[in-house]
Structure 1
């Protein structure tokens, strides 16, 4: 896999800010690009260099075409959020929304390329940390952190480029790389989906056992972050018992924030943030941030809307419905705020982009853990526990004071609807549709400008392996996803 192998000998250790203009681009933006790469062995020759190498891995995940792009793509591929039609968006996320990605799609190419950059750098830690001139305790900690990052990356990869685990665990997943590849080694083929998930879980459980429990930064892998990711992985696999167990563990020390905190723009951490990307004024995604596309004031790209059906799913008393209140301008009086429909759907004010483009990006929070617990317990038949977990979210939103009266499938559907309302804009809906075997069906919609109907297992619900990778690694050519 030559596209992977080009990252085998160097580690990214620094970034600079480059102000660039893009042809046909609405805005200028800050793009983070690596400015320093060092030989892998040299990167592990001192404690300072090792720390810089680890920082480099996290920095790779902040590339605007990677994590932010995947979150936004997962939103527009679901049924609740859409990207506006027409040229005002400069075609960003239009291919994803229409499910017309090709092997040459740059977004899909970035997901693959940057995932394997992160994996390659993590694998350098696996290989070189044992001989590094640091204490054994630090060696274990760095190894655990690297394996956690590798696992989280593989989780993104296998969901984009393979069928859902719940549809076909025996199907082709993505190539598993456990160590750096040498130029003379045979390029790897795709491993089975079930084996990729087993690899992810093995890495995460190693990290859970070996990371210090006193880590407090939400911007680096911690025990709570790993447990939250494990809860998400097990939910995706349909392992309800472990999903519920890990959700409880992840949220234990992360109480839900107030309802008012849900209306402050999602750019600064609250009590419930478990894992996030730290975005600084001197190192940020600029107009390619999640908040830019959700911005309702045309300060950012301002090109995402929610459908009428989704907007109407919020009760009038739901505190989260206030996330759609938009003033006449960013500086206008609060009294001018109203629900504003523009183009195909309603404007969204969940994320703030008016005060700064250096917005931290939350990736895991405890509200998701409550909802994982609720769904898992409901599917296990433990409805009292499911209803209590669901009530915590509904009480905070102001829509319930007592547990739900629903049972069976109706309770599960209520929980899934609550997931939609709580977590939209955070990259979940598309993957929820896949793991619950619902596919993507927009038939009957009067607002979606692209009507699609892809049943579970449809080839269009899986991204193509990029052509650049197929050209570099002939082993993968006969393993391309069907239909591309």
Structure 2
């Protein structure tokens, strides 16, 4: 069995009754010592630890990293090989056969509501904390941004896409800590969840102090999240506006940065998980599953169709060049398979160390959001769309002049560039959902063929059984097909 390198835990684990499966409220300051929520906010030092714990919850291997991987394996360009030696991870997700007891839907729900529960503790306790008013506002803005991010993940996994049905059931909204005797709420509408997300992010945008640390919520990260949220809502003017703002201070890296392993920050990283040698996800990191040398789990491949969609001039195609072995000469690099299913991927470095930082938002994504949002506003916006697309194509070496496409052809061109630029970073499945594109697979690579039309019940997760058991209100609110 491959070892997990996760050693140190700095955990604010103030759990909710019902939502998240915990009933006892406590804060883990170190792996062994616990204190109640009030005490956790009793000094500046303890508050700082609580915020560290909140970030640590978001970085667990069964939450953000796992959701990134599952998103791509469901999207079609990336696949998990059959019989993969990764203890069954993502095999159900790849096949769309999750049940109310499946691991991934249960973990995402549980951890997300723990994140939300901890963020709610900030909202409840920061007003009386022994720190300055400016510090209170800053902490509250940061906690609300993290809460918004958790809800954004949740509503996309468990609710219908906003563009498809904003009135459909979303997820429960919990604004303040729940006590053991409080009744957890039922599901809010998708639109109501998005409104709540926007309120949190707008508060954070207005109140978070300027900072350059990409490993904590910062102004560009919040603007990037707003760009994503508005894009999912189909509010294209706001999506374009916030994408421009988010990328303004984070210039694109050079072509070489696309081949450097996505482990250490380049100029375009906006928001990321900071990983240390004594506190990391080890073999359940994103880079482990994409590793081509069997150092990690090495169980993800790209399809023949996706690899062949890259032109020979596209520098990103070199992300699939794999040496004969880890220590072999670079001259042995070629497009390789291991077995018959798909091509190996060398976008992410895992063989140097398991302590790989995980990028969450890059300015390249913001250029592509801007391009798509402008193109979807019609002919009068196409010049702006093409201007935003060109820097991505220039860096990749796929174009030297502005696109000549127009209308749907321009939108298609942008979406193709989005696939090539962002695969492996957790976008493809949600892109299919928000654009109301059928989720289909065909060709020689996939060992599981699927054909789901927009709105199919299998494109949303079931509410976990443990949650419907704990919250009677949710028993009658399960997603169709999972009762």
Per the normalisation by structure 2, the TM-score is 0.94
Residue 151 (str. 1) matches residue 167 (str. 2): no
**Residues 1:329 and 1:8: Cα distance change in structure 2 (over 3 Å):** same
Q: Residue 261 of structure 1 aligns with which residue? A: 257
Q: Report if aligned partners of 1:287, 1:300 keep a CA contact under 8 Å in 2.
A: yes
Q: Residue 473 of structure 1 aligns with which residue? A: 471
Q: How many angstroms apart in 2 are the aligned matches of 1:63 and 1:401?
A: 41
Q: CA deviation at 1:78?
A: 0.4
Residue 424 (str. 1) matches residue 423 (str. 2): yes
Q: How many angstroms apart in 2 are the aligned matches of 1:200 and 1:359?
A: 29
> For 2:314, which of 303, 308, 318 is the aligned residue?
318
Q: Residue 279 of structure 1 aligns with which residue? A: 275
Residue 41 (str. 1) matches residue 38 (str. 2): yes
Describe the superposition over 1:268-309 as per-residue Cα deviations: whole angstroms up to 9, x where unpaired: 000000000000000000000000000000000000000011
Q: Residue 445 of structure 2 aligns with which residue? A: 447
Q: Residue 27 of structure 1 aligns with which residue? A: none
Q: How many angstroms apart in 2 are the aligned matches of 1:47 and 1:331?
A: 49
Q: CA deviation at 1:8?
A: 6.6
Q: Report if aligned partners of 1:115, 1:154 keep a CA contact under 8 Å in 2.
A: yes
Q: Report if aligned partners of 2:92, 2:98 keep a CA contact under 8 Å in 1.
A: yes
Q: CA deviation at 1:106?
A: 1.2
Q: How many angstroms apart in 1 are the aligned matches of 2:409 and 2:29?
A: 50
User: Number of paired residues?
Assistant: 463
Q: Report if aligned partners of 1:5, 1:182 keep a CA contact under 8 Å in 2.
A: no
Aligned residue runs from structure 1 range 296-307, under 5 A: 296-307=292-303
Describe the superposition over 1:198-222 as per-residue Cα deviations: whole angstroms up to 9, x where unpaired: 0000000000000012x11100000
Q: Report if aligned partners of 1:219, 1:278 keep a CA contact under 8 Å in 2.
A: yes
Q: How many angstroms apart in 1 are the aligned matches of 2:295 and 2:279?
A: 19
State the secondary structure of the residue aligned to 2:376.
helix
Q: Residue 247 of structure 2 aligns with which residue? A: 251
Q: How many angstroms apart in 2 are the aligned matches of 1:90 and 1:412?
A: 39
Q: How many angstroms apart in 2 are the aligned matches of 1:8 and 1:231?
A: 37
**Divergent runs of 4+, >4 A:** none
Q: Report if aligned partners of 2:290, 2:347 keep a CA contact under 8 Å in 1.
A: yes
Structure showing the higher strand proportion among its residues? 1
Residue 237 (str. 1) matches residue 238 (str. 2): no
Residue 368 (str. 1) matches residue 365 (str. 2): yes
**Residues 1:406 and 1:37: Cα distance change in structure 2 (over 3 Å):** farther
State the secondary structure of the residue aligned to 2:104.
helix
Q: How many angstroms apart in 1 are the aligned matches of 2:18 and 2:121?
A: 17
Q: How many angstroms apart in 2 are the aligned matches of 1:186 and 1:348?
A: 47
Q: How many angstroms apart in 2 are the aligned matches of 1:139 and 1:226?
A: 18
Describe the superposition over 1:55-114 as per-residue Cα deviations: whole angstroms up to 9, x where unpaired: 000000111111110000000000100000025333211000000011001111110000
Q: CA deviation at 1:5?
A: 6.8
Q: Report if aligned partners of 1:7, 1:121 keep a CA contact under 8 Å in 2.
A: no
Q: CA deviation at 1:257?
A: 0.2
State the secondary structure of the residue aligned to 1:156.
helix
Residue 118 (str. 1) matches residue 145 (str. 2): no
**Residues 1:467 and 1:481: Cα distance change in structure 2 (over 3 Å):** same
State the secondary structure of the residue aligned to 1:350.
coil
Q: CA deviation at 1:7?
A: 5.8
Describe the superposition over 1:215-234 as per-residue Cα deviations: whole angstroms up to 9, x where unpaired: 11100000100000000010
Q: How many angstroms apart in 1 are the aligned matches of 2:33 and 2:274?
A: 20
C-alpha RMSD of matched pairs (Å): 1.1
Q: Residue 358 of structure 1 aligns with which residue? A: 355
Q: CA deviation at 1:474?
A: 0.9
Q: How many angstroms apart in 1 are the aligned matches of 2:166 and 2:180?
A: 31
Structure 1 residues not aligned, in runs of 5+: 16-34
> For 2:168, which of 171, 179, 186 is the aligned residue?
171
Aligned residue runs from structure 1 range 200-219, under 5 A: 200-213=197-210, 215-219=211-215
Q: How many angstroms apart in 1 are the aligned matches of 2:416 and 2:233?
A: 20
Q: How many angstroms apart in 1 are the aligned matches of 2:27 and 2:232?
A: 32
Q: Report if aligned partners of 1:439, 1:457 keep a CA contact under 8 Å in 2.
A: no
Describe the superposition over 1:429-455 as per-residue Cα deviations: whole angstroms up to 9, x where unpaired: 00000000013111x322110001010
Q: Report if aligned partners of 2:20, 2:109 keep a CA contact under 8 Å in 1.
A: no
Structure 2 residues not aligned, in runs of 5+: 1-16
Q: Report if aligned partners of 2:84, 2:299 keep a CA contact under 8 Å in 1.
A: no
Of 48-57 and 89-98, more deviation after overlay is shown by 89-98
Q: Residue 334 of structure 1 aligns with which residue? A: 330
Q: CA deviation at 1:184?
A: 2.6
Q: How many angstroms apart in 2 are the aligned matches of 1:311 and 1:117?
A: 39
